[in-house]
Structure 1
Amino acid sequence: MKIVFNFLKQHKIKVIIISVFMVAYYFCLPKNLFDNPTSTVVTAKNNELLGAVIADDGQWRFPELDSVPKKFEYCILQFEDAYFYKHFGFNPISIGKAMIENIKAKKVVRGGSTLTQQVIRLSRKNKKRSYFEKLQELILATRLEFRSSKKEILKLYASHAPFGGNVVGLEMASWRYFGLQPHQLSWAESATLAVLPNAPSLIYPGKNQQRLKDKRNKLLFKLMEEGIIDQITYELAIEEELPKKPYPLPTVSPHFVQEVNLKYKGKRIQSSIDIHLQKQVNNLVKQHYDRQKQNEVYNMAVLVLDVETRKVLAYVGNSPTDKMHQKDVNNVVAPRSTGSTLKPFLYAHMLQSGDLLPTQLVADVPTEIAGYSPKNFSLTFDGAVPANEALTRSLNIPLVRLLQSYGLEKFREDIKAYKISDINKSADYYGLSLILGGAEASLWDLCKTFAGYAGIVNHYEELKHQYYQDEFIEPSFVLNGKPDFGVTHKNYTTINAGSAYVTLNTLIEVNRPYTDQAWKYFDSSQKIAWKTGTSFGNKDAWAIGTTPKYVVGVWIGNSDGEGRPDLTGVGSAAPLLFDIFDVLPKADWFLEPFEDLIEVSVCEKSGFLAKSICPPVTKRVQKSAMKARSCSYHQQIMVDRFEKYRVNSNCESIANMTKKSWFVLPPLMAHYYQQKNADYRPLPKFRNDCYRLENNTMDFVFPAKLYSKLSLTRGEDNKINPIILKLTHFNSEAKVYWYLNDTFIGLTQQYHEQAIMPKKGVYAITAMDDLGNEVKRIIEIKN
């Protein structure tokens, strides 16, 4: 120790100089040799290239390779640096030989740089050559050898070497010139790329082909001489053709690649896309596009999710259309009118709250609510329809009435949990049209929500009757990583398993396209919970479906918002949906969440909880069904012994009376219901000797609202058409007297219709039957 101390004391200046030199040498090499922007590279889950986005500087420069293929390694080392694994950054012998040959030729005919030195030169942006620059490269090369392994240095060279034009790096060159991944290259192809960085201008198609071929073949001969390849391989290799023209990069899912680029710019991402499924879906989209464009519908989108992992399996952002028809628009994430796609969520929340039973009758009659008059797609009315049928048939009026009874504000708060990013306005902004497409959402968010419902049911049994905190997580398109649903809870946070299961079970019954309507009769068919949607003006056609394993979503329309006749969810989007499900592995149906369902007796006719006076059936429904309403549509009546007339104790003896339970709807509902239900029997009329006044024996069919604004219309002969007043009466033999502003205008019997042709103004319409019952309406004639 003393000797060392004395040496340092005696040679203080030398020690300081050496120390400074060592520190300078240690820090002379930047931490990151290359700071050039890189392309975004996206691969499928099997690492097959899906596509790439050019780097910000206009170069096709892929992120650094993970490894260098053996064939290319042999080729580049034999061509550029045969002693790569033996030197320490520079080769004095090569430098000496190069200097002698260059001096003799009086020009640069040979380079003496090692691959390590070339890596340094590339990192320094190929600065102008000089002896001083060479010295710096030499020092930095030795420093790089200290810091990195030979394999790492080789990867740096292969990733940053120029290969002609704006092509940088082996991987991009491999795709550009041969349409292959680097490890798929032949010996001849590897040799071609190995000689290019030395003279990248040789690659231009149609130019210098013979010079490039000579260099390649010379390298192949050297490989044979060194025993790296045999003679047969050599002879076959030199017969291979050179690349004639650049290959385009794969464009299996271009919109997906652009979406990945927004989040992972300049990185290499191994996605969750199943390349084989993606290609199948692409072909199906092409087939459906060819059909849809006959109706001048040019755009579509498809998303396929794995329910368990919430990974994206297939992603089609648009059809194979052209620029004139907005081919670059990504319709997976573009917000569109939801049409009827939110209806299942209202149904589920009403089941959960106990406000609804699956088969409960809901009104389907002419409706106006605060000036809003919803219409069914068919422009007809059923009078009364089971709630589950209203959902599967996507009837608008019953769902609007259900939303009003459930509460618009309440439903708006409920769907916040689904994190549908484009539904971001208040309930007042949307109004009751929220349930019919008054809001916008993306295919991405709607598929995410369906996956959440499927996940709730799947996980209920897996978690032993518990719930994850967040089932409605964002799907992921990166292969690595597991979904984070949060912690588990005993109580649900959004929808309970019973309500979700009943909703999904209901959606099985949605009528499939005509090509698949007999699916129930085939053992090979699978159950799919699915829903269609068609926006106002036929601008958007939706079809979204789920099984326990997969969610498939389809949107079809025009990206510029132009509506087209016959563009509907069931006619346009549904066929593509089921074609995609056909290429997916079949899945068994959901396990019933037994603990979250109960058996209840419901009225067979009305679907409400059964009373003693109505025929019951047993249904397995969500637990909250115990809070539902009891049936109010059955009455106990007394009839005579022939069951022809109603009687009472005032006109008939008890011995001759029979007690009957009778299914009775309110007049307006009954009017439309009996038109589609031939077995509906109105209440028998009282026998003449015991007739009595009844409340609510008649009601207006038109005008249905208490106050209406009406206009007189003209026919084909330009004559003014009268307004036809219409009402329905329980007693088919009743006479009705009509009054306009207390002026008698007519008498009707059996069919109660009265024509009027008043002038502009406000009028009171009164209808009175022969027993003194009356109903009134106010109308305002605007012209």
Structure 2
Amino acid sequence: MALLIAVTLTAWRSFDTWIGNTNLPLTLAETSTEVLDRNGKLLRAYPVGDGLWRLAVKPADVDPRFLDMLLRYEDKRFRSHAGVDPIALLRAAGQALWNTRAVSGGSTLTMQVARLLEDGTTGRWAGKLRQMRVALALERRLSKEDILTLYLTHAPYGGAAEGVRAAAYSWFGKEPGRLTPAEAALLVALPQSPERRRPDRFPEAASQARDRVLARMQRQGVLSAEDAEAARHTPLPHRMAAFPRLAPHLADRAKARHPGRRQLRLTLDGAIQARMERLAADAVRRGGDRLSAALIAADHQTGEVLALVGSPGYSDAGRRGFVDMTQAIRSPGSTLKPLIYGLAFDQGLAHPETLIHDGPADFAGYAPQNFDGSFRGDIRVREALQLSLNIPVVKLTQELGPARVMAALRAGGARPQLPGGAPGLAVSLGGVGLSLQDLVQLYAGLAAGGQGPRLRVMQGAALQPADRLISPEAAWQVGSILRGLPVPPGARAGAIAYKTGTSYGHRDAWAVGWDGRHAIGVWIGRADGTPVPGIFGGSLAAPVLFEAFGRLKPALEPLPPPPPSALIVSSAELPLPLRRFRPRQAAFAAGGDAPQLIFPPDGARLALEGASLTLKLRGGTAPFLVLANGRPVLAGQRRREFSLPSPGPGFSSLVVVDGAGRSDRIDLRID
């Protein structure tokens, strides 16, 4: 007896030493880099080095019913054995002897993990013995939860899917947190023979394997007869689904900037991102195979980007979908005009009701033209911005100085680029390079009262304010003007402050705007920069902008009220220097013989009762053009006293333009 005990103890110590000296395989396998949205939803995943999809997972991430079914089917004594289940081994050996073939396996879940980690064989005795040794060693060094995690991470499920999360996405297009009985049973059965039971290639074998799992779960009381029967009649997936690939351009950038991080959480909202990507694809569908689009939606109070669409299709080679057009440097067209006017308001150069002359002008050899080639004469600054006239904004830029405009762009968080040399007056008409992200950053600053936060895309990044663009009063005045622009058919007027732009040569169409909480920017054009005949920001990009706000949220949020110090008066009530824009040097220049409306006087109230309206002029050079409420009513007039039909009851504005492009304006009321 003593000898037997001594031999047993010696054998046990040797066995224990043998197990303790086991060289374990690596248990920290590479898992896919995951890019998540603000709610933890998977936006994009990247395969690991060997081309497999292997997503990190823990038992708490998986449907509890699946775990119950897995353990009952594969290893019902998993929680109690030490890595090897002698009862299961004896049962498997007895069945093999009785049937002269292997009927069931005796491998525990831990032994399967050992095989998966070493990529070992299952049938050979040497391989089985090695699995037992590694399983016993794993049980000594890891907890049951750790071992279960390894199985859930490494189990093969067919194709390139490894692990239960990759399998749930590949076969069902969802996370494994909520699985139906049919889905759970298929995922229990697949790892035993992942290629021969693939439901897309061998549906009959997959169905039989799934049904065996369901039958056993019904016998063990895990599933009711009704649930098991319904699961058996559930169709199998007929193909492997693609992994999510939302916001691919931003995901690529985030991965490149944070190498080694396995999980990157962005500020994007996955549901909003998906809707915006569909919108961009719809917007270019009828515009030819080369037309592209980009869109950014951001919260201008927090700076968080909620959606970023770099192209209509990441894999669309014809549209160069791989190019992230939110970062491409392009001409912004007229979209910088609101900033110019805001700077002018702050500098005391103008007010929304200030009169400014729109006529032929030459700035040391630079003679810009309006888009339609015509001139409006004297016009309110408000109307000049709403009509996107070029001459008035260039006049303001000359007074501000292009360097001041460039400094404001940088202060607002943009990164302007010039073709070369010092900035010129053409900056205000799009003669500077900006990206869509730059424009949304600038408009977010306008929307936030002249100073907003810098845009951010990484969840948890600190809120950083940009420098102040303009004062709160000027920002509100700009917004008040832009909310008065005509809107696309069917859109709600006055709810969004926005501006459109078209770059030189019809290469880029822009629309950028904001409501009380969010700012959105849209770009449409070709990624290679070639012209698109007939492209206009107003007709092409503006409808997409308004549709984007509709897809962002169910209801628009109101624009803010004016600051208490905002000057809200008519043109006649303005301080004298603000009633009409005059360049600073004009005070020292000799006066010209400009036309002057001497009757009726400005601010007159007339009772015409249907009679014609008599006008009297002084100065100017014939012929004269007369506009009533912005519309030409009399042209080629050479006399200085004449009549024209009454504009109708109510308030009206009359503008007379002489042959040299000089003008005068009056406002009157007709009863």
TM-score range, shorter chain: 0.7 to 0.9
Shift of 1:231: 2.1
Q: Identity over the aligned pairs, expressed in percent?
A: 28
Match for residue 610 of structure 1? 576
Matched-pair contact (CA < 8 Å) for 1:340–1:394: yes
- Go from structure 1 to structure 2 and tell me whether the alpha carbon gap of 1:276 and 1:209 turns closer, same or farther (over 3 Å shift): closer
- SS where residue 589 of structure 1 aligns? coil
Matches within 5 A, 1:177-216: 177-204=171-198, 207-216=201-210
Alignment-mate amino acid for residue 305 of structure 1: A
Structure 1 counterpart of 2:383, one-letter code? E
The DSSP-based 3-state class of the residue aligned with 2:186 is helix
- Aligned partner of 2:383 among 379, 385, 389: 389
SS at match of 1:183: coil
The gaps in structure 2 that reach 5 residues or longer are 1-12, 601-615, 642-657, 664-671
Q: Is the 2:418–2:433 Cα contact (8 Å) retained in structure 1?
A: no
Give the Å deviation of 1:96.
5.1
1:200 is paired with a residue of what secondary structure? coil
Q: Report whether the alignment pairs 1:341 with 2:318.
A: no
| Matched AA of 1:586 | L
Maintained 8 Å contact 2:298/2:455: no
Matched, 1:529 2:485: no
1:323 deviates by: 2.6
Deviations 1:543-570 (A, max 9, x none): 0110121112111112222222321110
Which residue of structure 2 lines up, in the alignment, with residue 304 of structure 1? 297
Residues 435 and 598 of structure 1: is their aligned pair in 2 closer, same or farther, counting only changes over 3 Å? closer
Match of 1:481 among 455, 460, 465: 460
Q: Given residue 399 of structure 1, which amino acid in structure 2 is its aligned partner? A: V
Q: Does residue 437 of structure 2 align to residue 444 of structure 1?
A: yes
Q: Return the match for 1:416 from 388, 410, 413.
A: 410
1:494-573 counterparts in 2 under 5 A?
Answer: 494-513=469-488, 515-516=490-491, 519-520=492-493, 526-573=494-541
SS at match of 1:212: helix
1:455 to 420, 443, 448: 448
1:589 aligns with 2:559: yes
Q: Quick one: structure 1 residues 404 and 147, their matched pair in 2 at CA, closer, same or farther if it must change by over 3 Å?
A: farther
CA contact (8 A) 2:495 2:556 kept: no
Which residue identity lines up with residue 347 of structure 2 in the other structure? S
Mark the CA change 1:448 to 1:242 in structure 2 (over 3 Å): closer, same or farther: same
Q: Give, in whole Å, the separation in 2 of the partners of 1:181 and 1:167.
A: 13
Query: Cα distance 1:138–1:598, how it changes in 2: closer, same or farther (>3 A)?
Result: same
* Aligned residue in 2 for 1:88: 82
> Are the aligned partners of 1:354 and 1:628 in contact in 2 as well (CA < 8 Å)?
no
Distance 1:78 1:668 in 2: 100
Residue 718 of structure 1 aligns with which residue? none
Contact preservation (8 Å) 2:327, 2:436: yes
**Pick aligned residue for 1:292 from 287, 290, 296:** 287
From 311, 314, 321, the counterpart of 1:318: 311
* TM value normalised by structure 1: 0.67
Write the distance in 2 (CA, Å) between the matches of 1:663 and 1:115: 100
Offset of residue 141 of structure 1:
4.1
In the aligned structure 2, how far is the partner of 1:598 from the partner of 1:668? 41
Give the secondary-structure state (helix, strand or coil) at the position aligned to 1:545. Answer: strand
Contact 2:32 2:45 in 1 (8 A): no
Secondary structure of the residue that 1:185 maps to in structure 2? coil
Match of 1:709 in 2: none
Q: Cα RMSD between the aligned structures? A: 4.6
For 1:446 and 1:204, how far apart are their aligned partners in 2?
49
Cα deviation, residue 374, structure 1: 2.0
After superposing the two structures, state which structure 1 stretch, 93-102 or 283-292, moved more.
93-102
Tell me if structure 1 keeps the 8 A contact 2:61–2:176. no
* 1:691 counterpart residue number: none
SS for the counterpart of 1:428 is coil
TM-score by length of 2: 0.77
Contact 1:601 1:610 in 2 (8 A): no
Aligned positions of 1:17-416 closer than 5 A: 33-42=27-36, 44-45=37-38, 47-65=40-58, 67-95=61-89, 97=91, 111-126=105-120, 138=132, 141-142=135-136, 144-145=138-139, 148-204=142-198, 207-251=201-245, 253-263=247-257, 267-269=262-264, 271-293=266-288, 298-319=291-312, 322-416=316-410
**What is the deviation of 1:542?**
0.4
Equivalents in 1 of 2:360, 2:346: separation in Å?
Answer: 28
1:665-705 CA-partner distances (Å, limit 9, x unpaired): 998999899997879999989xxxxxxxxxxxxxxx9xxxx
Give the distance between the partners of 1:292 and 1:68, measured in 2 at CA: 45
Q: Secondary structure at the match of 2:151?
A: helix
Contact 1:72/1:191 (8 A) holds in 2: yes
Q: Is the 8 A contact 1:533 1:569 kept in 2?
A: yes
Assess if the C-alpha contact under 8 Å between 1:602 and 1:610 holds in 2.
no
Tell me by how many angstroms 1:539 deviates: 0.9
Is the 1:39–1:60 contact (alpha carbons within 8 Å) kept by the matching residues of 2?
A: no
1:98 Cα deviation (Å)? 5.0
Asked if the contact 2:358/2:392 (under 8 Å) is kept, the reply is yes
How many Å separate the matches in 1 of 2:661 and 2:119? Answer: 90
Counterpart CA distance in 1 for 2:20 and 2:330 is 61
Listed one character per residue, the Cα deviations across residues 136-183 of structure 1 (whole Å, up to 9, x for unaligned) are 655654554455543343232112211112111112212222334323
Query: Which has the larger displacement, 386-395 or 190-199?
Result: 386-395
What secondary structure, in the 3-state scheme, does the structure 2 residue paired with 1:203 have? coil
Residues 445, 126 of structure 1: alpha-carbon distance in 2 compared, 3 angstrom cutoff: farther
* Partner deviation per Cα, 1:618-653 (whole Å, 9 max, x = no partner): xxxxxxx9x9999999x9x9xxxx989xxxxxxxxx
Cα distance change, pair 643–301 in 1 and its aligned pair in 2 (3 A):
closer
Contact 2:84–2:132 under 8 Å retained in 1: yes
5+ residue gaps, structure 1, are 1-17, 458-466, 521-525, 618-624, 645-661, 686-700, 702-725, 731-783
Contact residue 383 and residue 673 of structure 1 kept, 8 A: no
How much has 1:72 moved relative to structure 2? 1.8
Shift of 1:234: 2.2
State how 1:424-439 maps to structure 2 within 5 Å: 424-425=417-418, 428-439=421-432
- SS of 2:334's partner is coil
C-alpha separation between the residues in 2 aligned to 1:384 and 1:643? 17
Q: Given residue 156 of structure 2, which amino acid in structure 1 is its aligned partner?
A: P
Instruction: Give the 3 Å change call, closer, same or farther, for CA 364–99 of structure 1 in structure 2.
Output: same
Matched-pair contact (CA < 8 Å) for 2:360–2:661:
no
Given the superposition, is the C-alpha separation of residues 668 and 506 from structure 1 closer, same or farther in structure 2, using an over 3 Å criterion? farther
**Distance of 2:441 and 2:662 partners within structure 1:** 49
1:434-474 Cα distance to aligned partner (Å, 9 max, x none): 222222222222112212222346xxxxxxxxx7xxx3412
Write the distance in 1 (CA, Å) between the matches of 2:431 and 2:531: 16
Provide the C-alpha distance between the structure 1 equivalents of 2:475 and 2:200, rounded to a whole number of angstroms: 64
Question: How far off is 1:222 after superposition?
Answer: 1.7
- Equivalent residue in structure 2 for 1:576, among 544, 553, 559: 544
